[in-house]
Structure 1
Amino acid sequence: MVTAEEDAGRLDHAVGALLGVHAGDSLGAAVEFSSREEIRARYPDGLWDIVGGGPFDWPAGHATDDTDLTRAVLLAHLDRPDDVVRAAADHMLDWFEGRWPGRTPGIPPRDVGGATRTGLTRYRASGDPRRAGSGPGQAGNGSLMRCLPTALAERDAARRVRLAVEISAVTHDDPRCTAACAAYVEVAAALVEGAGAADAVAAGLATAQGLGVGEVVEAFADDRRPTVADLVEGRERLAGDGGGYVLDSLRIALVAVLDPRPLEPVLVDVVRMGRDTDSNAAIAGGLLGARDGAAAVPARWVGLLQFADEFADGARELWVDRRG
């Protein structure tokens, strides 16, 4: 039996999860594609404020593709359709074709990943979200960055896993991507339900093992997992050096959520790692927000976020529906 106090705490962590995605995205957008050395030269103590700019000249707090596509998945769940996967694909196509808040109608996004472009173009042509995808070998982090709302929307673990896999596969159908999304969603769901970080990561490992994708299992079962400091200082390197490979972003998120420090300094350090800073920080931020709750996301960040109110309200609505 969940007490009223426990339920309120879980709701706070659900809100924190979505705000963590948005905040990490907006924090990292200022230095996207920069190396750790370049970031250190500009921000010797780390970037602690959302300042905008970056290669796409984002306004401070504006959503990049990470937050926008998370919003697409959130809207799909809030629609309560018979087919959540199709609803997610439709909202992603709206984003891709310029039907989106903050943009002139018909103007495409500033930044679209290659696999996302391929998958949505195929969906537009076929009308079938389960016949889209970008094909094996395309293992970017473009579906991992958007999958968190499924952790909040679905009470049943088997349904969560299935939806995470199928929504990923609209654009990223490589098994490394689909299994990473499913396992990540299970980590986030466990954190929101009150599990500690180690137990939540164990839940993700069990999901990865059940799906049988060895490389994702290895990411979770890494007995020599580096620390955040190892990655910031370059003492340990990831396979793609944090440049957008899905398993790099997953490993960064796991290292981050297992770090005992609070959300803010951990996310600052994730950005200090360089390369795909907005996506890596969005993916890590979702788990950190699920772990620490909404209050851990600095108010000075939240006040700038384009969809802060919508994300908080959406998380509350999903949670109320989920608990029945």
Structure 2
Amino acid sequence: MDTLQDKATGALAGAAVGDALGGAAEGNTPEAIQARYGGFIEGIVPPFLEDWRNARPIAPYHKGDGHITDDTLMTTALVDVYAAVRDHLDAHAIAEHLVPLLIGDKRWIPELESEALLLHRIFLAEKWLVTRLHYGHIDPREAGVGNIVNCGATMYVAPVGIVNAGDPDAAYAEAVDIAGAHQSSYGREAAGVYAAAVAEAMRPEADVDSVVAAALRLAKDGTRDAVAAVAEAAQGISDWRTGLAELRRAVEPFDTVGPDYRAPARDARIPSRTKAIEELPVAIGLLIATGGDYREAVLGAVNYGRDSDSIAVMAGSIAGALGGLEVVPAEWIAGVSEGSRTDITATGPVIAAVARDVWAADAERAARVAKARSAFAGAAA
């Protein structure tokens, strides 16, 4: 396996593993997680709620038992869009290619234990894509306006970072464009910063410090402030098992959801230039606190609770991109693939092949621009 394919597969399999492990803990506090599982989660566990089908009627999902969630389903769908277009994407590509997948393509949905449309699994903030783009015919570049501001557009843009491997600036710009169809404000900004972090992590010489530096350089407004605050707090944490509360305290001033994740505050998830989604800064903080160790960063995200699956997706994809497939525990890959009835290593080679095609097209475009600009040099002489 070449380096590009190895790092791409590490990023996407690493994200899927984090997603599956974190799904069981989602929405709960670290204390509740430890009480339910008799200590910290250390791998694949059964659902937090034994009567998962009826406990939360609005979300009758079988989380746990190695089941991937909508984070991975959406990531895979975005890889499929890239495989069809084989070029950079924009908000219009989301309308033209992703939305038809959501409403017309039945797939195995582990949390539903059946084949179904992706539309029937994605949650309300993601259904917005279909409502606005398919039914509302809104300009894709503006369709995200009015949606709740959350991590929905961020959780699945790791493929953008892979296609733009080694170029965080390009990844940021592409992800911000794509996310305009889904999110606004700091929800859109986080998508750009996360894609940039993955793009930097894909660079062979990258490390945690360079990933953090790229994120801080590109992030704007409250997102930058939140990443900076959590990064500073994480520098003083040597073990996530004793540092989760410190990470939460660092991100809390920027988080609009509030202390009770299941009962958001009145001003939750509205556009703001001073706030940030919680998931990305915490994921970066855990990468710093663990030195980029895949297993420890993901377990820290899982046991943090709250939106633990998305935090683990972000931490897992960046750590997986940094270290390649070998850093993702083989037993977790096997367990999640079996539990989800999905080969979670299959998308890595696909997006790596797409990336090579995109880079070839980029080279042709750059050559045409260089040729055109050379005429100006001749004219000046």
- Residue in 1 aligned with 2:228? 221
- TM superposition shift of 1:291: 1.9
Rounded to whole Å, the distance in 1 between the matches of 2:201 and 2:247 is 29
Rounded to whole Å, the distance in 2 between the matches of 1:57 and 1:278 is 13
Specify every segment of 5 or more residues in structure 1 that has no aligned partner in the other structure, as ranges: 1-6
Whether 2:139 is the aligned partner of 1:139: answer no
Which of 24, 30, 36 pairs up with 1:30?
A: 24
Q: Supply the AA of the counterpart residue of 1:283.
A: M
Q: 145-154 or 57-66: which moved more?
A: 57-66
Indicate if the aligned counterparts of 1:143 and 1:168 stay in contact, CA closer than 8 A: yes
Judging changes above 3 Å, is the alpha-carbon distance between structure 1 residues 261 and 129 closer, same or farther for their aligned structure 2 residues?
Answer: closer
Indicate if the aligned counterparts of 1:242 and 1:248 stay in contact, CA closer than 8 A: no
Q: Supply the AA of the counterpart residue of 2:70.
A: D
Whether 2:328 is the aligned partner of 1:318: answer no
Instruction: Specify which structure has the bigger relative contact order, considering alpha-carbon pairs within 8 angstroms and separated by 6 or more residues.
Output: 1
Whether 2:83 is the aligned partner of 1:78: answer yes
**Equivalent residues in 2 for 1:16-95 (5 A)?**
16-51=10-45, 53-54=47-48, 55=52, 56-58=61-63, 60-80=65-85, 84-85=89-90, 86-94=92-100
Q: 156-165 or 258-267: which moved more?
A: 156-165
- TM superposition shift of 1:139: 2.1
Rounded to whole Å, the distance in 1 between the matches of 2:172 and 2:292 is 29
- TM superposition shift of 1:158: 4.6
Q: 199-208 or 143-152: which moved more?
A: 199-208
Whether 2:312 is the aligned partner of 1:302: answer no
Whether 2:158 is the aligned partner of 1:148: answer yes
Task: Output one character per residue of 1:253-309: Cα deviation in whole Å (capped at 9) or x when no partner.
Answer: 111222226211221121111111211111221111112221111111112332413
Q: Supply the AA of the counterpart residue of 2:328.
A: V
Report the secondary structure of 1:129's partner residue. Answer: coil
Normalised TM-score (structure 2): 0.72
- Residue in 1 aligned with 2:208? 197
Indicate if the aligned counterparts of 1:33 and 1:275 stay in contact, CA closer than 8 A: yes
Rounded to whole Å, the distance in 1 between the matches of 2:87 and 2:359 is 19
- Residue in 2 aligned with 1:282? 313
Indicate if the aligned counterparts of 1:33 and 1:274 stay in contact, CA closer than 8 A: yes
Judging changes above 3 Å, is the alpha-carbon distance between structure 1 residues 261 and 133 closer, same or farther for their aligned structure 2 residues?
Answer: closer
- Residue in 2 aligned with 1:252? 282
Q: 248-257 or 102-111: which moved more?
A: 102-111
Specify every segment of 5 or more residues in structure 2 that has no aligned partner in the other structure, as ranges: 53-60, 109-113, 270-275, 361-381
Whether 2:121 is the aligned partner of 1:110: answer yes
Judging changes above 3 Å, is the alpha-carbon distance between structure 1 residues 312 and 60 closer, same or farther for their aligned structure 2 residues?
Answer: farther
Judging changes above 3 Å, is the alpha-carbon distance between structure 1 residues 58 and 95 closer, same or farther for their aligned structure 2 residues?
Answer: farther
- Residue in 1 aligned with 2:197? 187
Task: Output one character per residue of 1:110-133: Cα deviation in whole Å (capped at 9) or x when no partner.
Answer: 341x33222331011206422411
Percent identity (aligned)? 26
Rounded to whole Å, the distance in 2 between the matches of 1:151 and 1:261 is 18
Judging changes above 3 Å, is the alpha-carbon distance between structure 1 residues 235 and 178 closer, same or farther for their aligned structure 2 residues?
Answer: closer
* Structure 1 vs Structure 2 CA RMSD: 2.8
